[in-house]
Structure formats: structure tokens, C-alpha cells
Structure 1
């Protein structure tokens, strides 16, 4: 819907500073802007018009203007909330969903966030109490960053919006690099910019008299039901259909992203928009366009697609990393950037299938292979020591089998990405960057909340808190908003979660399939082939690109450049690149993870300036010219 930024603290030229901050995120809201500035408090808003196009501009005030709001997202149950608030005497000035937050805060206080159904990040400033209240949605669909620097609280939808403030201290966080090399995404609450933090999903923040306080307001819980499978499948289909309807509220054109997977296919089949959008690569096995077109034809929908090439993708890598704010090496960010660009030529809102895997058990890692099941029948007294020894063995066939068969899930599962092992990451970074949190210290607080659950639930719980928030949803928000479109994710809905939590693990993952009960529900809207198609993800041929001389040479320039010597053992990372280029090993993901970090660092720390207005490729190319 939009983006916001702001600060609390005495600032010279506060109107000018706020405008510069807002200009950094004009891509999030090109339709209009709004400001509130008073006594050292500044709130800035950029609007992408979706609901109540005429009267929905922000900031929004209550009746006596004692409370002011800036908000990013959509509240899907705003009509019910509005009716309750009107009945309690509140007077509304607009028909936008945003206004229920103002009156809801007046009526319910901090309990407001527990009543919301939607995706959101917002800031409310109480002018009478001199108090800020801010919150982020339960799944972390919308981002929220904050920092306290030089006596000023800074906050915004994107980190780049904080940088123009004169009190902002741009400093690299040396503790962020090593965990990133393992997870492929920024996994800690403190970002790659020292002193800049993410407000965690399902948390709210208050700021009063210089003090920040953060509290959790919701936590996912799995409570399996004894209901018959057919009854559970009925509930899944009912709640998904209801959520998809709720997520279609819009006064602008709406479409749907479509891969060959069951998740986006289910959404597209229920929405039946005029258009679906798909991208792929010409490389064999790296495109889902044919499957997407086939389903679209069956549904009577126009599928608009684009085939991407390596030159186009490489030319946009600096801009992609700029838009992401922090280094992010999930290769799927690249096609997602172009998919959002493709859709933006036709619609303003798109629905997508993110979240179904985490809620309903969709990843292959959640399955136990038949051979592993047999192995686990052997006494744990034998399996455990073999698993412990295997953890310290070099990469070889059978290593993961022994680890998974002998050690508890908490000791080996860290989510859907594991690029470098902790030992490998420590071995390639210079000593100043090796002292960050250990992987175990990052995952343990999450696992501690589900000590007594089964392994499938533990893995889903970890993915809900790390992978979903900081990889899947972060890239979905940043890449869609880079092209001024709003991405909605109907599976990540509080009512859908309530149903998903009832599904026993045997109906989430079993010997037949992942997302077993979910696929049965999807089969009521989809052809059987689409409902049961194996998950592909968003395949990107990076391993082939890196073995092409042109891109190998480009990456090598980064690996042998000055920045690489600051952070890495240069000989080791060049060796990784050479092994891959020569076909001796498949180091593609490892090389790409280092490469993306160095591209990001060049954009944010080696360039003399950053664009203050809407980013375009010419600006980025100029900033990152080698």
C-alpha cells in the first residue's frame, strides 16, 4: 500500500530532512505523500492508492486530531471493526481501512493489534501523551526498522529512508556477516547497519520519554485435532476461500503471480483474475512458464510471461541489492524482481502463494525418507555417537543421513537454507567478523518454545520465525514495492493459521506427499496434476552463469577487490570460485552468497552517494561502476 518514515528528536531543517527521507522510498508510494511535523516529531508517508482512492491519504487523525497515524499494509476485517467502533461512538471521516487503526487504538489500546486481520506496520503518535505506539503484523509480512542514534528515534519501512537523517550513523555491523553466510539472509534483529533493528513480527513497540519497550502480542501454536481428515480438508478449503475473498478488497486492478506449484495455483484458481504473471529462464529445467500457461488456459485466464536472460539479470543485481536494504542471496530474488516489474505494467495489486509451506508442511526437509525411518529403529545409543562424529566429518555421501538419524532436529535443522556450515563460514571470514552469534544461539530460543512438539512441528515453527519472515516475506515485500505494486499473501491470515494449527503432522507430511491435507483441499479447485505437482521453488541457473567466462570474470573482480580483502580470506574465496568455474565442485550457492554481499557493500558503503529519489538502473550502474 505504501511506505513511511520518520523521527522523534530535535532536528535542524526537519521539513527538509523528512522530505529527503521520504524521497528514498518514493517507489513504495508514487501516488501521493503526506507529512506531520511538530515539536521534534516528524512522520512522513508515501502512498500507493489501493482503497478509497480519493480520501485515503495519510497521515490520518482522530476526531480532535490528538492522535496521528501513518500505516503500511491492508486491514482485511476493517469493515467489521469499523461497525463496532461506530457503535461505540467513533466518527469516521473516510472509507479507508487505515482509519480503523486510529479509532481502534483509542478504544482498545494496545489490544488493538490482536483484533486485526491483515498485513501491517504502522506508527501512531499520541500528541497529548507524547507517546509513540508502533506494531508489525503477526507473520512479518510488512517490514519495520528503527534505530536510536544521537538522541533521536528513527523509524521506517526501509532502512534506506533513515540514512539521510543527520543523526544517522552509517556503520557496518561486523556481527551480521558470518550468520548471513550460513543462512543466506540477514537473520538477526540487528541489521547489517550497526544500531538499526527490525521490529520482530507479532510485536509492538512503545516509545516514551526516550525509552523503547517491545512486547510480543501473538505466537503461533499448533494444537492438532482428532477430527476426521475429510472434515479438516473441508475446513482448509473453506478458510482459504474466505481469506482469498478478503484479500481481493481493492479499488484498483488485481492479478495473481503463478508458478507451477500448488500454492500459487490454488490462489489463482480461486481468484480467477483477468491476468496471471510468470517468468522463467531459457535454460532447461529452469522455467515454470509452460505449466503456468497450461493451468491459466484451463481456468480461462490470460497468462503473461517473460523469459529472462543472464545479461538482463546481472545488469540489475546492484539495484536489487539496493532495494533489499541488506545483503540477500536467495537466487529467487532475481526472477521475483522481474516478475513484479512485469505485473506492474498491468495491475497494482497481486496475490501470491507465500506461507502455505510453513503453515501446512510443504518442504521436503520435513519428510523422513523410508531408509531413514528404518535406520531410526536402531538403538539411539548407537545412532547418537555416529551422528556426533558425522557433524565433524568433511562433506561426503552419507554424512547428512548419519546426522539426521542420530541427532535431534534441533542440532541439524536451521531452516530452508544452509549455505556455509558454521565452521566453513568461520574459516573464510577475517577475525574481526568471526565473533558473532553462533548458529545454535540463534535457533535455540525458538526451539525452546516447542520443546515437547514433534519434529515436523519444530521445523515448521523455526521456519515461521526465521525463513518465512527474513527470506520469503522480506524479498516479496521489497521486490514488489520496488515496482510500486502491492503483494498480498492470503495463506498468511490469522483464520487460515487457526485452521492450519489443527492439522496433525501425519496429515501435513507423510509418505504420500508434503502438504497432504492442503493438497486435498486445493484439489477441489485445481486439476489433479496441479494439486499434486512437486514443489520446484523459483529455480535460477546461477551455477551455469558462474561457469560462463563473462560472469566468472565479473564475479572475480569483486572477489579480488579491496572490499573482499576487508572481510574475507581472499585466497579461500577465490579458490571457491575457481573450483566452481572449472567444474571441480558445485560451489554455486556459496559463490553467489559472497558475491551478493560484495555487491550490496559496494552500493551502500563504497559509493559516494545514494539516490535520493526513485531508483533507476542508470543511477545504480553509475554508483556501482567497477
Structure 2
């Protein structure tokens, strides 16, 4: 895994410029760097050594030296391709996959991609023709950005590298803000920087004589085999996935694996017996902590498991640094959790496998059930009546099932823009200082729906998510957060051969009334306990809802919402109303609030020239000093000192199962190591009642302090706040209508 950058054309101090562009992405490749320059082009490279550790440095040339390559990624079938290319007469000087990629271009040109299996973003320069060839992998696992400055090209793995070019003028793209407010990310090829674009997945690009030409070489099309049986599907999935795992584990360094309670990473980890897995969670109980699940599974499948609890303070302090590495704002709070798990893994391994892509390819999101659930409602209830019911529901408080009826108003092409839908056009017009930039987000999806017009609704949703949500959110955060910690992240589900099988599955073997990812779960069940393979989709729950109802973090966001940056873009009165309504538990606005907060943090870093470390929120105020007790008698004082000494001795004892950095380590437990029975705690006698007992109050717990010390922040009822963030509601329509009757009548009377 590496970072690349480069530019064409004349420029003063060209060597200094390419070095600055390369240095700013050192985190992508701390092991070595390299530069190629001639009178036309400057190419920079940062290397994270994975294959051919001694001889795999770049830039690299072919035999006669007329082609120069810089490349980021892995070609998993490079050994087979090398043999084929040697048979065609090509000479190799290394055992690296980068040299194989260069010779593949030399041999097959634009047709090279049908031979490749892997993830990649690369640049190839032809010294004779002065042409530059850029390409990005099939699904967009690896990023590649470019801009045209006058008549010259500038490209890089990350936008921050392009910003180092002295002739590039940094300008804010307000169209990206409009899209971001609806999608929680910026749909590619657009970026928040005017004139900088992303090369789209499955595309290559030529830059010749100042002209850019792009072409698509791969499109993820679904071709269901309606004759396929369930057993055939499960057999094919198991076979191709095992082959993909084997290919993705090829490396000259140790390879680890992420592990959560979900089926995706668990299925991957089932092939890692005796190796290392990694998990993070929040100190908020089981709803926001998958460590217990992961620990249990690790013991069953025999892996060495490492885990970390993320404190509230750590999470919020990391937001600016994460947004700096993202290059563009991403309002998916799980990207911060991903930052911590990649940081944990990087302390032990250089490469890690993860489960990204399984939901999009095999139909894993709960919302993919919407077409089946909505079908009866949209068929029976006319459109005008659905609109009326939806209007009434929008006036209701945030109750279970309300969003179901609102979403069911419109056809799929109008209501579904992806897994996240933050602000609609009307809300954006009210929120933005410049309402003219607000647009209907469904317009941005029309091209995708047009290309998927022959698919059923479930497959249309998958196609849209593969081309938009997965690229703009899932894979973007996977690349940026792993590279921020100099860790290579590989995704075996997003393999060309795996997709061939996934795209051939009939819709009922992807999504049905029994479960999502139906056939894939059956394949995973051959390697995992049934309760893991059949576990419902949860995602990575992050307690932003709870944090924003705590006084401390409420004020952190409030300060940002009243900042000059917020005044520049938004109607701050409306922002504060969203924040207050959430704090007062009138409405769950957590996702809308987080979307704005993340944007403001990002903007201050990239356009306000504020260092990420200067944007960290202030620490929670220290608790008030305890009231000083009166002087104790000598004998009582002696007992107190003895108690303190005993506590100090206990504190000096090292905790078990911790490594040098204080990270929990779980290793498989053998049956012979378990005691026959565990001692039971002694019962304490209850004190005698001297007065009438006061009725108990609801149990509240301080969920922000990992030390157990009291805080001045607002206390939160854990039972009321324990529901994790979810993109969909799972409801029984009949039960919902029965419970909604009185609330509708009351609301209509008020109107």
C-alpha cells in the first residue's frame, strides 16, 4: 500500500514541489520514498513495504526504460501473470507486483484490466509520446484525484497532496456542500474543492497534449441465474470466497483481521486460526460494544484477539485529526471508530483484512427489505392518501414507525438516495444562507437508476449503493483511516471473482423475509456458530445520540454552531433549534447535528487554516472539590491511613490480560484451564430500616467517565438511550396503525 502524486509542465523549483507533495502523504508509505523527473513530468511515491521488501521501490521502469510507473495497491494474481508475461518474452528484475503491472500495460495496453485481480490506482508515463495513463480499480477501493492547471495535469492519492502545488488555487465548491447535506458524503467524481475530481471506479484516463479522455472498463452488472438453487448458491459462495481469502492473504509480512459481532468480518476471521484479530468498542454497555461478542468468537475459532475501549474524550478529541485525513467531510461517525481499530491493528501487523462490500454485493442492509414491506401499502393506499398520511406523520414526535410511513409515500427512485438521507431540498433551503444552491438529491441518482432500470427494486438499491454509497462513504473511510495509521486494509468481498457469483444470485437468495444476505449467511454458517452467521445487520453503533444529550458535548457543538464559520453558511437559529430539540428529547436530530458539526470542523482545517490539534474540544470540567470533613480522632485516623495503604498496594498490582500499551488481549481458553466451579460471592445482610423507605427513582448511570468519578455533566437514563443508531425501522404495520390511531386524532385536532 502506497501513495502516489505527480504533475506535468514547467515549474520553478519542481523538485521541491514534488517532494512537498510526496511528504504530505508520508503516512501512506513511511518505509521509503522515490521521485522520477524529466523535462515534462515529476512523479512522487511513498511506499509501505508489503511484497518484495528489498527490491520493490518505485518509480519503476520497464526493460527499455520508456515506461515509468507509480502504483498504489495489490495485484493478487501477480504470480500467475508474471509467468504468462515471461512466456511472452518480458524480462523482470524484481519479484514485486508493481513490475508485473507495468509489463501487463506494455503487453495488453487498455485491455490489461481483464487480466487483473486486485485493488489499484496507478500512473504510467510514456517518455516517447509524453502521454500519462491513470487508472483506478474495479470498485474504487483505492483513491485517485486529479486536476487540470492550465494545460497541465496534477494527480495524487489524496487531495492534500494536490493542494501543495503552487499554481493550484484552492476554492470552495458549494455544490459539494449541497450534496453532502443530503448524502453525508460527497458523491464522486465531485469534491469540495473546485476543479479537483475523483477518477471514478472502473475507469482509466489518458492525458495527452493537454486533453483528458476517460473511459469505463468495468461496470458491476447483475445477471441473476433464476435456475440457481439455494445449495448451488451456497456452494459457489463458499468456494469463491475461500479462494479470495487465500489470494488476499498473500504478503511478505504478517496479515491480521478485523473482528466484530457481524457475519462479514466474522466470516473473514474464520480463516485466521492462530493469527491476530482486532476489535474496538465504546464504554457504553453491550449496545455500543462488540468486544464481548468478538472475544467469545475468538475463543471458538482459535485466534489471538486484541481489543480497545474508546472513551468519550478520545472519540471527540480525534474528530479533527480524522477529518484532516479524510480530505473531505464525512458525517459517518463510524469512521472515527475505524480510525481507532486501524491504529490498534497497526501496532501488531502491516496488513489487515476486513468485511467491507459484503452488504452491497450480497444484499445485507435492512433497508433492502423496504420494497417487499412497502409493496402491500403502496398497492392498497393511493398516492394522494399516502401523501396525506405522510404529512401528518411529519407533525408527530419521533415515534416508532413514523419514518416507515414517510418513506413509503414515494416510489423508490424518489425516496432512496442511499443508506443515509440527512436533509431534503426543503430543509436545505431553510438551513443554508444561500438557499439557491439547494437541490433535490434524487436528481443526482437519476443516472444510476436509468442504468439499473431493468432491475427489480432490491437490485436497483444495491446497484446504487455499489456505485455511490460504497465508494463515497464505506471505501473512502476504509482507505483514509487505515492509511492514516500506515496500515494496508484489504477487502476480500470486493473481488472481481466474488462479484461474479454475487451478481448471479436470484434476488430471493440475497434478500427475503427470513434475512438479508441470505445465501451468504448460509455459506458463513458452515464456518461459524449459527448465532453469528444469522445475527441481524447492526453496523457499527456509535453513541452520538447520547453524547449530544450530555451538557458537556452539547456545549461543544453549540460553540461550533455559533462560530463565524457557521454564520457564513447556515441559519444558526435553526441549527440551535435542532440542537436544543435533541437535547430536550423532543426529536432525534443527532445525525443532522453531526453532519453539520463535522463539516464545520473540516472547513476550519482546510479553509480556516486551523491545525487539527487546535480544534480539539475542551476537556470536561473537573468535578467540584469534596467537602472537607472534620478532624478525625487519632485511632480513626490510623485506621484511615491503613485503608489507604491497602488501596495503594492493590493499585500497584498489574492488571491481567494487558499488553505494554494497556490494550486488552484475549487468547483462546482451553477447557483444561477452566476451574470446576466458580466461588459465589458472600451475601451481605441488609441494614435495618430506621425510617420509612423512600420510593426508588429511575436508575441513572454516569456513562461518560471511565474512571467512575462523578462529573458535572447531565446524567442519562441508559435504558431510555440504549437504542443504537439505525438507518431503518423494523416494524409490524398492523401494530403500528393500532397504536397510531389516538396520536393522529390528537394531532389533527391540534391543527
TM-score by structure 2 length?
0.79
Counterpart residue number, 2:431: 428
Deviations 1:66-94 (A, max 9, x none): 00000000001111211111111111111
Counterpart residue number, 1:615: none
| Number of residue pairs matched by the alignment | 612
Deviations 1:524-543 (A, max 9, x none): 11111110011111111111
Deviations 1:549-576 (A, max 9, x none): 2211111111101000111011111111
Go from structure 1 to structure 2 and tell me whether the alpha carbon gap of 1:299 and 1:411 turns closer, same or farther (over 3 Å shift): same
Task: Quote the Cα distance in structure 2 between the aligned partners of 1:547 and 1:403.
Answer: 26
Counterpart residue number, 2:248: 247
Task: Quote the Cα distance in structure 2 between the aligned partners of 1:100 and 1:383.
Answer: 60
Task: Quote the Cα distance in structure 2 between the aligned partners of 1:607 and 1:241.
Answer: 48
Counterpart residue number, 2:170: 170
Deviations 1:397-451 (A, max 9, x none): 66644455453211111111111222212220111x6426531221000010011
Deviations 1:202-256 (A, max 9, x none): 1111100000111111111111111221011100000000000000010111100
CA contact (8 A) 2:316 2:617 kept: no
CA contact (8 A) 1:152 1:167 kept: no
Deviations 1:162-221 (A, max 9, x none): 111111111100111121111111124220011110101111111000001111111111
CA contact (8 A) 1:179 1:438 kept: no
Counterpart residue number, 2:613: 621
CA contact (8 A) 1:257 1:277 kept: yes
Counterpart residue number, 1:279: 280
- Give the Å deviation of 1:477: 0.3
- Give the Å deviation of 1:319: 0.5
Counterpart residue number, 2:558: 556
> What SS does structure 2 have at the residue aligned with 1:176?
helix
Counterpart check, 1:37 vs 2:23: no
CA contact (8 A) 2:425 2:438 kept: no
Go from structure 1 to structure 2 and tell me whether the alpha carbon gap of 1:387 and 1:60 turns closer, same or farther (over 3 Å shift): farther
Counterpart residue number, 1:536: 538
Alignment partner for residue 312 of structure 1, among 297, 311, 314? 314
Go from structure 1 to structure 2 and tell me whether the alpha carbon gap of 1:180 and 1:390 turns closer, same or farther (over 3 Å shift): farther
Counterpart check, 1:482 vs 2:481: no
Structure 1: stretches of 5+ with no match in the other structure: 609-618
Task: Quote the Cα distance in structure 2 between the aligned partners of 1:234 and 1:117.
Answer: 22
Task: Quote the Cα distance in structure 1 between the aligned partners of 2:353 and 2:217.
Answer: 26
Counterpart residue number, 1:613: none
> What SS does structure 1 have at the residue aligned with 2:134?
strand
Deviations 1:316-366 (A, max 9, x none): 111100000000110101110000100010000000000000000001111
CA contact (8 A) 1:22 1:161 kept: yes
Task: Quote the Cα distance in structure 1 between the aligned partners of 2:371 and 2:468.
Answer: 25
Go from structure 1 to structure 2 and tell me whether the alpha carbon gap of 1:312 and 1:59 turns closer, same or farther (over 3 Å shift): same
- Give the Å deviation of 1:49: 0.2
Task: Quote the Cα distance in structure 1 between the aligned partners of 2:260 and 2:463.
Answer: 25
Go from structure 1 to structure 2 and tell me whether the alpha carbon gap of 1:200 and 1:387 turns closer, same or farther (over 3 Å shift): farther
CA contact (8 A) 1:203 1:215 kept: yes
Structure exhibiting the larger radius of gyration computed from Cα positions: 2
- Aligned counterparts, 1:75-474, within 5 A: 75-225=75-225, 226-272=227-273, 274-284=275-285, 285-368=287-370, 372-378=374-380, 382-389=381-388, 394=394, 396=396, 400-402=403-405, 404-405=407-408, 407-431=410-434, 434-435=436-437, 438-474=440-476
**More displaced, 323-332 or 542-551?**
542-551
> What SS does structure 2 have at the residue aligned with 1:270?
coil
CA contact (8 A) 1:383 1:405 kept: no
CA contact (8 A) 1:603 1:624 kept: no
Go from structure 1 to structure 2 and tell me whether the alpha carbon gap of 1:549 and 1:80 turns closer, same or farther (over 3 Å shift): same
CA contact (8 A) 1:175 1:437 kept: no
> What SS does structure 1 have at the residue aligned with 2:437?
coil
Task: Quote the Cα distance in structure 2 between the aligned partners of 1:407 and 1:559.
Answer: 33
Which structure ranks higher in relative contact order (CA pairs < 8 Å, sequence separation ≥ 6)?
1
TM-score by structure 1 length?
0.95
Counterpart residue number, 1:2: 2
Go from structure 1 to structure 2 and tell me whether the alpha carbon gap of 1:23 and 1:371 turns closer, same or farther (over 3 Å shift): closer
Go from structure 1 to structure 2 and tell me whether the alpha carbon gap of 1:579 and 1:104 turns closer, same or farther (over 3 Å shift): same
Go from structure 1 to structure 2 and tell me whether the alpha carbon gap of 1:370 and 1:29 turns closer, same or farther (over 3 Å shift): closer
Task: Quote the Cα distance in structure 2 between the aligned partners of 1:570 and 1:403.
Answer: 27
- Give the Å deviation of 1:492: 0.1
Task: Quote the Cα distance in structure 2 between the aligned partners of 1:404 and 1:554.
Answer: 32
Counterpart residue number, 1:525: 527
Go from structure 1 to structure 2 and tell me whether the alpha carbon gap of 1:273 and 1:248 turns closer, same or farther (over 3 Å shift): farther
CA contact (8 A) 1:73 1:119 kept: yes
Counterpart residue number, 1:612: none
> What SS does structure 2 have at the residue aligned with 1:227?
coil
Task: Quote the Cα distance in structure 2 between the aligned partners of 1:495 and 1:534.
Answer: 26
CA contact (8 A) 1:390 1:399 kept: no
- Give the Å deviation of 1:386: 3.2
CA contact (8 A) 1:76 1:117 kept: yes
Go from structure 1 to structure 2 and tell me whether the alpha carbon gap of 1:46 and 1:273 turns closer, same or farther (over 3 Å shift): farther
Task: Quote the Cα distance in structure 1 between the aligned partners of 2:205 and 2:440.
Answer: 27
**More displaced, 105-114 or 235-244?**
105-114
CA contact (8 A) 2:423 2:592 kept: yes
**More displaced, 178-187 or 389-398?**
389-398
Deviations 1:367-421 (A, max 9, x none): 148764432452xxx5333345566663646664445545321111111111122
Task: Quote the Cα distance in structure 2 between the aligned partners of 1:314 and 1:427.
Answer: 28
> What SS does structure 2 have at the residue aligned with 1:21?
helix
Task: Quote the Cα distance in structure 2 between the aligned partners of 1:111 and 1:426.
Answer: 47
Structure 2: stretches of 5+ with no match in the other structure: 619-751
Go from structure 1 to structure 2 and tell me whether the alpha carbon gap of 1:478 and 1:420 turns closer, same or farther (over 3 Å shift): same
Alignment RMSD: 1.7
Task: Quote the Cα distance in structure 2 between the aligned partners of 1:597 and 1:392.
Answer: 30
> What SS does structure 2 have at the residue aligned with 1:451?
coil
Task: Quote the Cα distance in structure 1 between the aligned partners of 2:456 and 2:260.
Answer: 31
**More displaced, 216-225 or 241-250?**
216-225
